[in-house]
Structure 1
């Protein structure tokens, strides 16, 4: 008799009790959403994902988790009501600060992992986009009412897109109008316009590092990411850390104090914010400079071997105020 996915997964968990569900899915050749669905304690929710995101605020104090292959961003706090304009959503808050790109969101589950309760969102491929965990301060009654409101028809089955991922080829450098690209970079007045310049010139993010105007993208040793975190901790600087995937960016604004190395991961383990960064996956690390109408804004950006952005670091920024001097000092130590 053919074994079911649930039986395979149960056996796998017994043999590999410490392996996380994301890695188990890879080993078993299925999606994370399919493994979540094998547990009868987990409840599939309906397709009103925007409605759900507008209502998470009712849970009170929670932990928001967004990750990519090599970085995990965990921030405690409260959601404000999500707002949406076409396919782009915002949750803007001093603690939980999110940018949502809604093109591929498909499934949501209420998940119960040994009484650790969460709402988890997945894309069309069954890959996790964002997870919201209850804390001891959360409103469990609001969580239960949320499940009752958004519960899906139990007859619905997952339909996962298992087609190979499309490989996006970079435009060859010699086909790009580099002079025009650099001119527009140097003419920036707001860093938020940078993505539009990349799109206009069909330049990938990593490619933009190569094609940047002189002294506006400086490659530094990958090991400097740990040096950066320790310097941030020692200097008590307030910074911003952006980690995301194709569907979501999560932002921490504040300090980063407790820096801990555990094997291949460099971690920030603070009370309200945790980051886990697999720095051995970083192929290149860059100091990036972008003009604004208030002077240069500096970031440190890490890319993997496929050219995916793993993490970005900025100084804490406020509207209409120039970049912080302590952050510029940290950048200067890296440049030197």
Structure 2
């Protein structure tokens, strides 16, 4: 791959008919290297620290927020508002742009401007240490271009020519199970009062999410058939249920809160194509689906969660809380009717 100089990468990108994520995979490169190859050609290296970047993004007005993992992409239109910074976790709490941010994974960032038939396309692209995309922000026709110019001026880094050394991508963890702690897991699970306590619990027991689901079993975690995923989307659409749909990676989780109106399957892709919310899910990547019940002070938090063959989380879908307009009984009935996986 030594012949893949920045100039050669720019040529390849101009000729490519696939998205940067897929092109990078074909070339065996981190996606960030494709953005970095454009430094000085419409791309500027900027500060990736969320505490500096997100307040600047707030000034852009309406944009499109995009977060993805290998199997799922979520896109939301809206304005970044109500940012809460933190060393370990940060968040935006707007009704449309609702993010959970993990700053240590926000390592490389670029302000990108690309000439296109309909005029320049502008975006902010954030990557982790391995050069995998963490979060992207695409400007819209009504975005504030003066604020865009100010963002680049204020956040541009001194080095606009050097190439980055990208870390190796961490291997998938798979399901971590501590079989001798099964009863402790079940007992402490039932004592939870908030869903956020779950991650702390499984870490303390030297497990992870998927491992805990496999070990705990029913009634806390029931495995579903993979056919439950398209059925879930169809039933949410048809019922008008208000849901919270979480899609993320190690550095960012993006959340859609509301209904699902328009489904357009295409090949292996299951697509939601609503006016201000798009979802693109590789149905053929789904290897395990779990129906999970966690107790909280407000009542059960019931979710459907999908994992790929490496044990990586693809998405989580919860019913909206009643105080936010959700229907807890309707959600419980909807997911209870999803097909359970036949026992081996």
- If the length of structure 1 is used for normalisation, what is the TM-score? 0.92
Structure 1's 217 and 321: CA in aligned 2 closer, same or farther, altered over 3 A?
same
Structure 1's 240 and 108: CA in aligned 2 closer, same or farther, altered over 3 A?
same
| Structure-2 residue corresponding to 1:35 | 34
Larger strand proportion, structure 1 or 2? 1
1:147-179 CA distances to partner (integer Å, 9 max, x unpaired)?
A: 1111122455232334353564654543x4111
| Structure-2 residue corresponding to 1:101 | 102
| Structure-2 residue corresponding to 1:70 | 71
Structure 1's 155 and 228: CA in aligned 2 closer, same or farther, altered over 3 A?
closer
2:48–2:126 contact (8 Å) kept in structure 1:
no
Kindly report the root-mean-square deviation, in angstroms, between the aligned alpha carbons of the 2 structures: 2.1
Equivalent runs, 1:1-336 vs 2, <5 Å: 3-13=3-13, 17-39=16-38, 40-46=41-47, 48-114=49-115, 115-155=120-160, 157-163=162-168, 165-166=170-171, 168=173, 171-174=176-179, 176-317=180-321, 324-334=328-338
Aligned residues: 333
The 2-side partners of 1:81 and 1:112 are apart by: 27
Q: CA deviation at 1:104?
A: 2.4
The 2-side partners of 1:167 and 1:133 are apart by: 29
1:48–1:150 contact (8 Å) kept in structure 2:
no
1:205–1:307 contact (8 Å) kept in structure 2:
no
The 1-side partners of 2:174 and 2:234 are apart by: 36
Q: Secondary structure at the match of 1:260?
A: coil
Structure 1's 14 and 89: CA in aligned 2 closer, same or farther, altered over 3 A?
closer
Q: CA deviation at 1:62?
A: 0.8
- If the length of structure 2 is used for normalisation, what is the TM-score? 0.90
The 2-side partners of 1:14 and 1:145 are apart by: 28
The 1-side partners of 2:323 and 2:207 are apart by: 28
1:296–1:323 contact (8 Å) kept in structure 2:
no
Structure 1's 231 and 167: CA in aligned 2 closer, same or farther, altered over 3 A?
closer
Q: CA deviation at 1:314?
A: 0.6
1:54–1:81 contact (8 Å) kept in structure 2:
no
The 2-side partners of 1:286 and 1:144 are apart by: 46
1:299–1:315 contact (8 Å) kept in structure 2:
yes
The 1-side partners of 2:326 and 2:126 are apart by: 36
What stretches of structure 2 of length at least 5 have no aligned partner?
none
Q: CA deviation at 1:295?
A: 2.2
